[in-house]
Amino acid sequence: MCPGFRQHPDVLNGASHLFAQVFGERDRHSRLALGIADMPLDAAVQLTVIAEVRHAAESSRGGWN
């Protein structure tokens, strides 16, 4: 880990942009940036994603809204 790392929100911004590109208008998410001094594998940032996946037929019936 890099002591003094403070760019957690920047990493989260990158994740948000990726979600927007992948999911388009279906992209709805919330986010939280935390800085933790010691994480497994010396990671600087941890992202947790909770996603709801629906069958494509539900999408055509407006199930994504």
Res 58: pLDDT: 61
From first to last of its 65 residues, the chain has per-residue pLDDT tens of 566 777 888 888 888 888 888 888 777 777 777 777 777 787 777 788 777 777 766 655 555 54
d(CA 65, CA 61): 10
What separation, in Å, do the N-terminal and C-terminal C-alpha atoms of the chain show?
A: 40
Nearest to 11 by CA among 35, 45, 56, 61: 45
